[in-house]
Chain A
Amino acid sequence: LAARCSRVTLKSSPLTLRIVAECPVTKARVCDLILPHCTVNTPVFMPVGTQGTLKGITVDQLEDLGCQICLGNTYHLGMRPGPDLIEKANDLHGFMNWKRNLLTDSGGFQMVSLVELSEVTEEGVKFKSPYDGKEILLSPEKSISIQNSLGSDIMMQLDDVVSSTVTGPRVEEAMHRSVRWLDRCIAANKNPHKQNLFAIIQGGLNSKLRKACLDEMTKRDVPGFAIGGLSGGEEKDDFWRMVTLSTDHLPREKPRYLMGVGYAVDLVVCVALGCDMFDCVFPTRTARFGSALVPWGSLQVKQKQYAKDFQPIDPDCQCPTCKRHSRAYLHALFKSDTAAMHHVTIHNISYQLTLMRSVRQSIMEGRFPEFIQSFMKRMFPSRDQYPSWTVDALASVNITLQ
C-alpha cells in the first residue's frame, strides 16, 4: 500500500524541489528544481520570451547558453496567435520548439502596465483588445484556461496587480482578492499533474498585509510561491524588506520566485535573502539598444568611445559574441545590420546565466559571502558607492560589506 501511494504521489507532482546546499551565513540556497521537461538548477535567472520567441535568438542558441527555463507571456500569446492555435501546435513548447521548461505569467501585469482602460472587478480584469477593440474579460478561469492551452510547466495565478507605489485601501483589497483568485485558479487548473500553479504573494509595501497574505496563501497546497507586487519603482529600502519578510514566511521546501527582478546587484542580494528564481525583460531589452551587461556595470557599445576599441565586450566572457567579436566591430555593425542586436542579446543572456551559475557554485562551495564581497567590489568603484539598501539588506543576513 505504501509503495502504491508513493508512486501516486510521484505521478501527481510535476515539481520536486531538492535542496542541494544552504548558505550557513545568509538565507541563500542551492536547489535542483525537477520539472516536467528537465531539471532547473537554482538560483536561476529566467530570460523572457514574451511572444514565444526570445528576441532574435533561436531555441538552439538558447539551449547552448545553458538556459533551462524561460518565460512566455499569457496576455500576448493569448491575443496572438491565441490559445486554440497553440493547442493545435502541441502547446507552446511545440509551437516554439523549445524542449526545456516554460513558465507563463498570468497576464495580470500586462493588464495594468500595457492596457490603458482596464477595469478590475471581482470577476476579473476587463479591457479593450488593442488589436480589434473588442472588450475582453481576463478572469482567473480564463487565464488558467489559456495557460493550460499553452502547456507551460509553471503557471502563475491571476493576481490583482497594484503598482507598488500605490497606498491605501486598494492595496488591501487587491491582496484579499488575489487570495480569492488563487483559489479560483487552483480550481480551474485542468492539468494539475502536468502543470504547476504558483501563488503570488501580494500586499504591497505593507508588512502587515504581506504577512496576512503569506499566512493565507501558504495554507494552499501549491507547488511554489512567487513574491509579487514589487520591482515596480518603489524605494529599494522598502523593496528588500518585503522580499526578506516574504522568504521568512515561505516554506523552505518550496521554490521562491521573485518576479521582475533582473539587475545583477538585485539578483545577488535577493539570492542572499532566500529567493530561488528570477525573471526580467531588462537584459534582453537593453541589449537591443546596444547596452552590454558586464561585471562592472554596463557598456554602451553604440557610444563613440568604442568605435576603436578592439577588445571584446568582456575579455573574460566565454560567450560566442565575446569569443569572436570586438566592441569596435559591434559598434560599427549596429549601423549596418540587426545581427548586432543579436550579438549583444546573446552576451547579456550569457552574462545573467553565468552570474547565477557562479552564485550557485559559490554557495555550494561555502564561499557565498566572499563571492558577494568581490562581486560588489567589481561592480562599484568604491565602498561609499555601494547603494545603502544593499548594505542594509546584506547586513540583515549577516554580511558586512567591506
Chain B
Amino acid sequence: MAGGRMQLELSRVVQGRSRLGVLKGLGRTGQHSLEVPGCLLYTHFGTVPHLTQDTLHTLRNLPSVTQVTLSNIAEHQEVLEEFKDGFRKFAGLHDTVVYCSLHDPATLCPTGYTTNKTVSVWGSGGRIELTVAKFMALQKTVQPDWYQSMADGETWQNSTSRKRVRKSVDRTLAHLDECLLVHQKSQELDGVEVFGVVEGGDILEERVRSARETAKRPVAGFCLDGLQTASMDQRLRTQLITAVNKELPEDKPRLLQGVGRPDEVLACVEAGVDLFESFFPFQVTERGCALCFSFDISPDPERAGRAPPEVLELSEEKDAAGDTKQNGDLNHDDQTQMTSFEINLKDKRYQDDFRPLVEGCGCYCCKNHQRAYLHHLLVTNELLAGVLLMIHNTSHYHGFFSALREALAKDKLDLLKTRVLRAGAQQMEREEQDG
C-alpha cells in the first residue's frame, strides 16, 4: 500500500497501559507531529466553531491535526470536484494536517439508515447515502492527509442486539477491505494514511474479533468507534478498550471517537488510548458554559491542608449515594447537559463577577474580559459570547491535555486524576468564595 510516514514513538508506557509519546511523520511531507495522549482540532468544515483566523490564532499550541468530517463535507462534493485542489486549500487551511472522519462527534445521527453497502451522513440539506465508491470518491476529492475508513458504528443504542453488533463488525471489515483496494489503486491518495475502525458495540467477543481482524489489515492506526459518551458508562468502556488494545499492535496509534469529557479521557488514556476528538469544548460553549476544572498539579502551599468537601470519583463500583453529584449519574443520552467541569455563565451570580473566567488562564478571553461581560453577552444573545467561550474552552481543554502529558512524564497521573475529578468548578467556586 502506498502509505505515508506516520510513526508512533512512545517514550513511556505507564503501568503497562497509559502511553506517552509523539506521533510523527504526519502530513504529505511528513513534517508534522502530534504529541500523545493528545486531541485533534475539531472543526465544522475546516473552521473551528465561531472562530476566524484572527480569533483562532490567539490560541497557542494548537494541535497540528485538523479534523474535518464527511457530515459537513459530503454535500459539497461537486464544488470540491470542480475546485480540484483538495479541501485544505479550499478552506484556506495553511500548514496543518487534515484528518477526515465520517461523522461529526458532537452530533448523534439518526439510526436505522445503515445497510450492508451504505452508511449515511446528515448534511444541511438532509441525508446523504454513501457507498464505498462514493466514500472513496469523496476522499479523493477532499485529499486529506489521513482518514478513517467507512464504518458502521450504529451500535450505540442501549438495545442493540448481538446480531446487529455482529453485522456492524462484519460490514466495517468489508468496507475497510474495499476502501483499501480503492486506496491502493488511487494516485490521488498516494501518501495518505488510513485508519481502520474497530466496532463491536458493548459485546466483548465482538470487540476482540473486530480488533483482531482489523489489525490484520495494512492500516496506519485504529479508530475505536461505538463507545461514544452517550452510549455507555466508563467502567464498561474501559473494559472494552482494554480488551481491544490487547489485540492491537503497540506501535500504532489508537484514536477514540466520540469521547471527550475530562474524566472519561483520563480513564481511557489509562486504558491505552492515544488520541481524542476535541468536540467537548464546543459542546460546553453551546450551552453557554466555561470550562474551569483545575488540572494544576504543581505544589501549591495555599491549597495544602484544605480538605475538599466533595470528592468525585469515577463511577467504578459506587452507586449514586446521597446528594453527591457523580459524573456517572448524568443522563447518558443528553450530551447537552452541563458537567461539573464547567460553570454556567448565564447564572445570575455572574452578573457582577468581574473576575476572568479562570484565574491565571492566559487565553484571549481571560486576558481581556470578565465573567460579568460574558454573562451579559449570553443574556442578550450576542454572537461574541460563542467566540469568546470557544477561545477559552479550547484553550482550557488543550491545557488539560498538556497537563496530562506532563503528568504521565512525571509519574503524577494519580495526582492529576484527583485534581480533575474533584467537583471541578463547584469546588473552585466554593474555595474562592471562602478564601
Which residues of A are in contact with B by a Cβ distance under 8 Å? 51-61, 64, 76, 80-81, 85, 88-89, 95-97, 307-308, 310, 320-321, 324-326, 328-329, 332-333, 335-343, 346
A353 shortest CB reach to chain B, Å: 16
- In the bound complex, do residue B364 and residue A55 qualify as a contact, i.e. CB atoms below 8 Å apart? no
Question: Given A52-B376, A61-B55, A324-B53: A335 and B382 within 8 A (CB)?
Answer: no
- In the bound complex, do residue A308 and residue B79 qualify as a contact, i.e. CB atoms below 8 Å apart? yes
A155 shortest CB reach to chain B, Å: 21
Q: Which of A52, A58, A329 has a CB less than 8 Å from the CB of B92?
A: A329
Whether a CB of chain A sits under 8 angstroms from the CB of B164 is no
Query: Could you name 26 residue pairs across A and B whose Cβ atoms are closer than 8 Å?
Result: A51-B377, A53-B383, A54-B384, A55-B382, A55-B384, A57-B384, A58-B54, A58-B55, A81-B375, A95-B376, A96-B373, A97-B373, A308-B82, A308-B83, A321-B52, A329-B46, A332-B76, A333-B47, A335-B123, A335-B124, A336-B124, A339-B48, A340-B47, A342-B50, A342-B387, A346-B52
Q: Which of B50, B351, B364, B382 has a CB less than 8 Å from the CB of A337?
A: B50
Cα distance A310–B79 in the bound complex, in angstroms: 10
Cα distance A300–B165 in the bound complex, in angstroms: 47
Q: Which of A60, A76, A89, A329 has a CB less than 8 Å from the CB of B372?
A: A89
B208 shortest CB reach to chain A, Å: 37
- In the bound complex, do residue A61 and residue B352 qualify as a contact, i.e. CB atoms below 8 Å apart? no
Q: Which of B50, B51, B91, B351 has a CB less than 8 Å from the CB of A81?
A: B351
Cα distance A53–B51 in the bound complex, in angstroms: 16
- In the bound complex, do residue B92 and residue A89 qualify as a contact, i.e. CB atoms below 8 Å apart? no
- In the bound complex, do residue A328 and residue B83 qualify as a contact, i.e. CB atoms below 8 Å apart? yes
Which chain A residues lie closer than 8 Å to B369 at the CB level? 97
Count of A-B residue pairs with CB < 8 Å: 125
Cα distance A54–B385 in the bound complex, in angstroms: 11
Cα distance A226–B407 in the bound complex, in angstroms: 62
B123 shortest CB reach to chain A, Å: 7
- In the bound complex, do residue A343 and residue B52 qualify as a contact, i.e. CB atoms below 8 Å apart? yes
Q: Which of B76, B91, B386 has a CB less than 8 Å from the CB of A338?
A: B386
**Extra A-B contacts (9), CB below 8 Å, given A328-B79, A336-B44, A342-B52:** A52-B376, A58-B364, A59-B368, A85-B352, A308-B82, A333-B44, A335-B125, A338-B50, A343-B52
Q: Which residue of A lies closest to B382 (CB)?
A: A53
- Top 3 A-B pairs, shortest CB-CB distance: A56-B383, A335-B124, A337-B44
Whether a CB of chain A sits under 8 angstroms from the CB of B29 is no
Which chain A residues lie closer than 8 Å to B372 at the CB level? 81, 85, 89, 95
Cα distance A56–B124 in the bound complex, in angstroms: 22
Interface hub of A320, A326, A342 (most chain B Cβ within 10 A): A342
Which residues of chain B from 23 to 67 have a CB within 8 Å of any chain A CB?
Answer: 44-55, 58
- In the bound complex, do residue B373 and residue A95 qualify as a contact, i.e. CB atoms below 8 Å apart? yes
The tally of residues in B whose CB lies under 8 Å from a CB in A reads 46
Q: Which of A80, A307, A326, A338 has a CB less than 8 Å from the CB of B379?
A: A80
Q: Which residue of A lies closest to B377 (CB)?
A: A53
Q: Which of A60, A308, A338 has a CB less than 8 Å from the CB of B49?
A: A338
Which chain B residues lie closer than 8 Å to A325 at the CB level? 92
Interface hub of A57, A95, A338 (most chain B Cβ within 10 A): A338
- In the bound complex, do residue A97 and residue B55 qualify as a contact, i.e. CB atoms below 8 Å apart? no
Question: Given A53-B382, A335-B123, A342-B50: A310 and B92 within 8 A (CB)?
Answer: no
Question: Given A81-B376, A88-B352: A307 and B79 within 8 A (CB)?
Answer: yes
- In the bound complex, do residue A61 and residue B54 qualify as a contact, i.e. CB atoms below 8 Å apart? yes
Whether a CB of chain A sits under 8 angstroms from the CB of B264 is no
A60 shortest CB reach to chain B, Å: 7
Which residues of chain B from 116 to 147 have a CB within 8 Å of any chain A CB?
Answer: 123-125
Q: Which residue of A lies closest to B375 (CB)?
A: A81
Whether a CB of chain A sits under 8 angstroms from the CB of B113 is no
Cα distance A53–B75 in the bound complex, in angstroms: 34
Q: Which residue of A lies closest to B124 (CB)?
A: A335
- In the bound complex, do residue B45 and residue A55 qualify as a contact, i.e. CB atoms below 8 Å apart? no
Which chain B residues lie closer than 8 Å to A333 at the CB level? 44-45, 47
- In the bound complex, do residue B83 and residue A310 qualify as a contact, i.e. CB atoms below 8 Å apart? yes
Cα distance A192–B156 in the bound complex, in angstroms: 66
Whether a CB of chain A sits under 8 angstroms from the CB of B427 is no
Question: Given A56-B387, A96-B373: A339 and B79 within 8 A (CB)?
Answer: no
- In the bound complex, do residue A329 and residue B376 qualify as a contact, i.e. CB atoms below 8 Å apart? no
Task: Provide the B376-397 mask, 1 if CB < 8 A to any CB of A, else 0.
Answer: 1101101110111000000000
Cα distance A60–B58 in the bound complex, in angstroms: 10
B58 shortest CB reach to chain A, Å: 8
- In the bound complex, do residue B351 and residue A329 qualify as a contact, i.e. CB atoms below 8 Å apart? no
A189 shortest CB reach to chain B, Å: 26
- In the bound complex, do residue B49 and residue A337 qualify as a contact, i.e. CB atoms below 8 Å apart? yes
Which chain A residues lie closer than 8 Å to B82 at the CB level? 308
Which chain B residues lie closer than 8 Å to A307 at the CB level? 79
Q: Which residue of B lies closest to A53 (CB)?
A: B384
Q: Which residue of A lies closest to B367 (CB)?
A: A97
Q: Which residue of B lies closest to A324 (CB)?
A: B92
Which chain B residues lie closer than 8 Å to A89 at the CB level? 354, 370, 372-373
Which chain A residues lie closer than 8 Å to B51 at the CB level? 339
Cα distance A72–B91 in the bound complex, in angstroms: 34
Which chain A residues lie closer than 8 Å to B383 at the CB level? 53, 55-56, 338, 341-342
A198 shortest CB reach to chain B, Å: 26
Question: Given A56-B387, A85-B351, A308-B79: A336 and B45 within 8 A (CB)?
Answer: yes
- In the bound complex, do residue B376 and residue A80 qualify as a contact, i.e. CB atoms below 8 Å apart? yes
B91 shortest CB reach to chain A, Å: 6
Q: Which residue of B lies closest to A84 (CB)?
A: B352
- In the bound complex, do residue B364 and residue A320 qualify as a contact, i.e. CB atoms below 8 Å apart? no
B269 shortest CB reach to chain A, Å: 29
Question: Given A80-B376, A95-B373, A336-B47: A58 and B387 within 8 A (CB)?
Answer: yes
Whether a CB of chain A sits under 8 angstroms from the CB of B72 is yes
Cα distance A55–B386 in the bound complex, in angstroms: 11
